[in-house]
Amino acid sequence: MRTLYDESLYINTPVQSYWERTAGGPDGASTPLKGSVDVDVAVIGGGYTGLSTALHLARDHHIDTCVLESGHMGWGASGRNGGFGCIPASKLGIEALVSRYGLDETQRFFAAQLDGLQLIRDLCNGEGIDCDLVGDGNLEVAHRPSRLRDLVRYADELTRHFGIPTRVLHRAEFGELGFECAEQCGGIHMAAGFGLHPLKFARGLADSARRHGAVLYPHSEVESWQRQGNVHVLTTRDGRVKAERVVLATNGYLREGLHDGFDRRLLPAISNIVTTRPLSREELAAHRWSTSNPICNTRNLLFYFRMLPDNSFLFGARGDTTGTARDGERMKAWMTRRLGEVFPHWRRVPISHYWRGLVCVTRKMTPSIGRDIDDPTVYYAFGYHANGVNTAPWAGKQIAEMISRNDDGADRIPVVCRGLPREFPLAGLRLWYLRAAYQYYKLIDALP
Ligand SMILES: Cc1cc2nc3c(=O)[nH]c(=O)nc-3n(C[C@H](O)[C@H](O)[C@H](O)COP(=O)(O)OP(=O)(O)OC[C@H]3O[C@@H](n4cnc5c(N)ncnc54)[C@H](O)[C@@H]3O)c2cc1C
């Protein structure tokens, strides 16, 4: 099997993240697969998509399910993201969405995205998952005065077309309920979303799935996937699963060669995060910081940041395009420098953690959820475009529903999210496409 990035990005030991340090000890409740088992449904990948699929299959449909995960449950992007419960999971703007899918389907898409946020709250309440939910929405900040115009239009569209109350905040107002710095030129508050502790949420999903009867196998990478008559045979280092149906829930961590039907369709991209040590009251006051809401700025190569419950500051950005340890060190230095440039009063605050992981982009630029046309016993959900916190658990619920009803979810899943993306042409050049896109966005972001 092949990886797009340096192999070191796929080594399944826990990353040295703030989340791993604060999640409350290792999750040792399950053991790797040993020997041979038969199940109705085998899920490959133990992130939000896979765990939510398993939880809903076991709890709501009483279907015999197992999850096979290369690392610990939540090892991938789900246990290491920024914890932004935000929308939408698309790289297309509203105008492009409407022109491609029409207003009705775009509205269905936004309604589904809001359902995704609500599902997290319901899961936390109903399953007793404590994952430090904070905030009353999301903030988007104009990094230059000229970018506020676009946000004003966006706020109007969100409110008018999708019923999401969104307020425009001019610089002084934003300073009152957010923060101040040179790259704060006003912004918007979208009354949807929150922040959470991503690894606690992943572990909560895993515990619930287990409690309802799903069997979870950590440290059990699927090394081969074969069809033998009516069953799928998934082989791991020490075991084998025979399943009637398989769900591919590997998002950006898919190794090509596992299943030819999914090769060449994904473009994983690296996202980086640094966190600081907890800031003092004086340090917070220096930037008049007063919000627990997640924030992103208007750069195409955006910065995303939030103040964590212990006042550690989380600052995230896109990554390099090789995944080597050397480029990781380079990115850490760049992130540290950029954090200090955007928030100069925190320039000398020590960085406590740096880590990175893979998000998943596709040519469709919207999520891909469905059932394989050539083999209707294979299901998939991926391509959340760095917005999987709300979308992946929702996608897992949809997959469970599709399996239990034996349909393709056409009446429940908006067209925007349905079906496989097309393959990338000359797929071997995908990282070069990404490099070219980054150079282009860098130029746009530098415009006044
Ligand atoms: C640094 C970073 C910051 C992010 N910030 C945000 C954010 O703030 N808000 C937001 O909405 N989204 C964010 N995202 C994206 C979000 O985390 C993902 O979209 C989401 O977690 C995807 O969930 P998933 O379960 O589909 O995939 P993942 O959580 O990536 O899980 C896939 C799993 O599949 C496993 N796997 C792969 N191949 C195999 C195999 N052959 N056998 C067994 N297991 C296998 C991997 O080990 C991995 O654990 C961020 C991502 C990163 C990396």
User: Of ligand 1's atoms, which has the minimum distance to the CA of residue 273?
Assistant: 1
Among protein residues, the one with the nearest Cα to ligand 1's atom 19 is: 388
CA–centroid distance, 20 to ligand 1, in Å, is 15
DSSP 299: -
What is the CB-side half-sphere exposure of residue 380 using CA atoms within 13 A?
A: 27
Counting ligand 1 atoms within 8 A of each CB, the residue from 16, 389, 394 with the most, and so the one to mutate, is 389
3-state secondary structure of 228: strand
CA–centroid distance, 78 to ligand 1, in Å, is 4
Smallest CA-to-CA distance from 57 within 391, 372, 402, 367 is with 402
- CA 160/CA 359 separation, integer angstroms: 30
**Cβ < 6 A, ligand 1 pocket:** 12, 44-50, 68-71, 75-78, 80-84, 86, 221-222, 249-255, 258, 271, 273, 316, 356-359, 382, 384, 386-390, 392
Ramachandran quadrant class, 403 (left: phi over 0; alpha: psi -120 to 50; beta: rest): alpha
CA–centroid distance, 252 to ligand 1, in Å, is 6
Could you give the maximum distance between any two Cα atoms of the chain, in Å?
67
Ordered domains of the chain (ranges, CATH): 7-81+199-263+364-428 (3.50.50.60)
CA–centroid distance, 281 to ligand 1, in Å, is 34
Entry field: residues in the chain: 448
User: Of ligand 1's atoms, which has the minimum distance to the CA of residue 223?
Assistant: 41
Among protein residues, the one with the nearest Cα to ligand 1's atom 41 is: 222
Among protein residues, the one with the nearest Cα to ligand 1's atom 32 is: 250
- Report the relative pairing of strands 304-307 and 295-297 from DSSP bridges: antiparallel
User: Of ligand 1's atoms, which has the minimum distance to the CA of residue 381?
Assistant: 26
Smallest CA-to-CA distance from 179 within 337, 309, 280, 286 is with 286
**Whose structure tokens read 């074969």?**
226
Looking at 145-224, list the stretches that DSSP marks H as alpha helix, in order from N- to C-terminal side.
148-162, 171-177, 198-211
Ramachandran quadrant class, 67 (left: phi over 0; alpha: psi -120 to 50; beta: rest): beta
Among protein residues, the one with the nearest Cα to ligand 1's atom 49 is: 76
3-state secondary structure of 136: coil
DSSP 139: E
Counting ligand 1 atoms within 8 A of each CB, the residue from 66, 196, 359, 369 with the most, and so the one to mutate, is 359
User: Of ligand 1's atoms, which has the minimum distance to the CA of residue 75?
Assistant: 49
Rounded to whole angstroms, what are the CA distances from 247 to 46, 237, 289, 359, 401? Answer: 11, 20, 43, 19, 12
Looking at 301-378, list the stretches that DSSP marks H as alpha helix, in order from N- to C-terminal side.
325-342
pLDDT in tens, the chain (448 residues): 899 999 999 999 999 999 999 999 777 789 999 999 999 999 999 999 999 999 999 999 999 999 999 999 999 999 999 999 999 999 999 999 999 999 999 999 999 999 999 999 999 999 999 999 999 999 999 999 999 999 999 999 999 999 999 999 999 999 999 999 999 999 999 999 999 999 999 999 999 999 999 999 999 999 999 999 999 999 999 999 999 999 999 999 999 999 999 999 999 999 999 999 999 999 999 999 999 999 999 988 889 999 999 999 999 999 899 999 999 999 999 999 999 999 999 999 999 999 999 999 999 999 999 999 999 999 999 999 999 999 999 999 999 999 999 999 999 999 999 999 999 999 999 999 999 999 998 888 888 8
CA–centroid distance, 230 to ligand 1, in Å, is 30
User: Residues of 241-270 as b/e, b for ≥16 C-beta within 10 angstroms?
Assistant: bebbbbbbbbbbbbbbebbeebbbbbbbbb
